Amino acid sequence: MPEAGVKLRVCEGMVEDARKGIVRVLSDVMEELGLKPNDVVAITGKRTTVARVMPAFQEGCPPGNIQMDGILRQNAQVGIGEGITLTRQEWQPARTVILAPVLPGWTLAGEHEIVHLKKHLIGRALVPGDQVTIPQFAGGDEAFTVEGVAPRGAVVITRDTAVRFKGGEDTEGRGRRVTYEDIGGLAKEVQRVREIIELPLKYPQLFHRLGVEAPKGILMYGAPGTGKTLIARAVASETDAHFIHVNGPEIMHKYYGESEARLRQVFDEARKKAPSIIFLDEIDAIAPRRADVHGDVEKRVVAQLLALMDGLESRGNVIVIAATNIPDLVDPALRRPGRFDREIAINVPDQRGRREILQIHTRGMSLAGDVSLDRLAAITHGFVGADLAALCREAGMYALRRGLARFQLGKGSLDDLELRVTMRDFLDALAE
Ligand code: ADP
């Protein structure tokens, strides 16, 4: 344990707290650990889990005790009367949480059920391996195991968290599908990418019959966070192509000594699972101008990539999209015909583009009437898509904190937290 903890004896939780991921301790314990209501705590029994802490009522909780419900007792692997150690816990808002039903045979009824289940999870603190029980839309409870969370460690579910349900219907693919409607301010660019990629991927026989060479490689360039990866993913989803994401620096470092083998593997997989799109992110790390390269390893990796590109048949069913911030850093040999011979600039969005991107990233939020996306677009000059996405997430966090503060004051329950994001939330997030 990194921080000193307090040892406490486990007693039953309050009925109204059941399944909400809340523990209660007396105020002397709160003070000792410097805890405020609704802070996240770690509870260590035979296992460590996390929960939000609330002050206990004197009559419900004997001194030296912690009130926790059966689900949390299971998560901490302790029984009533046994001991746990309570510490304060750092956490981050969850980007993604993957839940798997405990009992087989559970199926997701539809979008509305995801919305319903997620609503019950907002504000909940989790670590991987925890179990959560959620009242079902149609009545009854359903238990899920937290299979994974991102970022790693203890997280709290927010409105912006992507909650994925495994099992059930194929929520994996469908829920996370990136479509062209998720890309803002790049209509012309997307149109070009579609022309170059969709046609050959969808109708390879056409190219074959006409004896026309389908493109094999595209070089997308532009500042980080402008949506290059997003476009590549969207094209793959929309054409039902197999998508392989290759990160340039990772292939050079993580696979050091095996970079060429790894590249061959990727191209192999693409061929076997065709139609495929290989996305080579930060290609300048894999294929810098050879004049700038000193090491033999780097030279061999560039040569391997060139050979793989040349070895691809121009049948259109495997397309390689390379992305870089600075095209001039890329080995010119890669930009010759038959290799990455189409180039598309992905520009920093203008005001209209920013407006579109803001609209996309506020789609799932309930916005207060005073929120003006026009005004936000006007005052975010220089922001790229990733910045705008972060701004919306951050504004959502402000609203969440405000909602939780109200909840602490006893106005309402976690279940019906009313979360509306206001213009003020956006401006506060901007000022950060
Ligand atoms: P790049 O590959 O150019 O570095 P990404 O595509 O990885 O940028 O963008 C990171 C994130 O930023 C995306 O997942 C998305 O949430 C957001 N984003 C970036 N560009 C756009 C855009 N044009 N429209 C909508 N969202 C965007």
Rounded to two decimals, the ipTM of the complex is: 0.99
Burial of 211 (0-12, 13-18, 19+ CB in 10 A): exposed
- What b-and-e string marks burial along 1-18, b requiring 16 or more CB atoms within 10 Å of the CB? eeeebbebebbbbbeebe
How confident is the model at residue 135, as a pLDDT? 66
Please tell me the residue having the least CA distance from ligand 1 atom 8: 225
Q: Judge whether 395 and 424 are in contact, CB under 8 Å.
A: no
Report pLDDT for 168. 45
pLDDT of residue 288: 80
Of all protein residues, the one whose alpha carbon is nearest to atom 7 of ligand 1 is 229
The enclosing H or E element of 405 equals helix 385-408
Ligand 1 centroid to Cα of residue 350, in Å, is 15
CA 121 distance to own-chain centroid: 16
What's this model's pTM, rounded to 2 decimal places?
Answer: 0.62
Residue nearest to atom 26 of ligand 1 (CA): 385
The per-residue pLDDT for 265 is 94
- Cβ of residue 228 lying under 6 Å from some atom of ligand 1: yes
Q: Atom 6 of ligand 1 has which residue's CA nearest to it?
A: 227
Cα angle value 297/301/305 (rounded, 5°):
170
183 lines ligand 1 (CB under 6 A): yes
Say if residue 63 is preceded by a cis peptide, omega within 30 of 0.
no
Q: Which atom of ligand 1 is nearest to the CA of 386?
A: 12
DSSP lists the bridge partners of residue 51 as: 41
* Ligand 1 site-directed mutation target among 221, 230, 387, most atoms within 8 Å of CB: 230
Q: What is the number of the ligand 1 atom nearest to the C-alpha of 223?
A: 3
Eight-state DSSP code of residue 63: T
pLDDT truncated to tens, each residue of the chain (432 aa)? 455 799 999 998 887 787 789 999 999 999 999 999 999 999 999 999 999 999 999 888 999 999 998 889 989 998 888 999 999 999 999 998 988 887 766 666 556 567 777 888 999 999 999 999 886 544 456 788 998 898 989 999 998 888 888 764 333 333 345 778 889 999 999 999 988 888 888 887 777 787 777 889 999 999 999 999 999 998 888 888 899 999 888 888 877 778 899 999 999 999 999 889 999 999 988 888 766 666 777 788 889 999 999 998 766 689 999 999 988 888 888 899 889 989 999 999 999 999 999 998 887 678 899 999 999 999 999 999 999 999 998 898 888 788 777 766 666 655 555 678 899 999 999 997
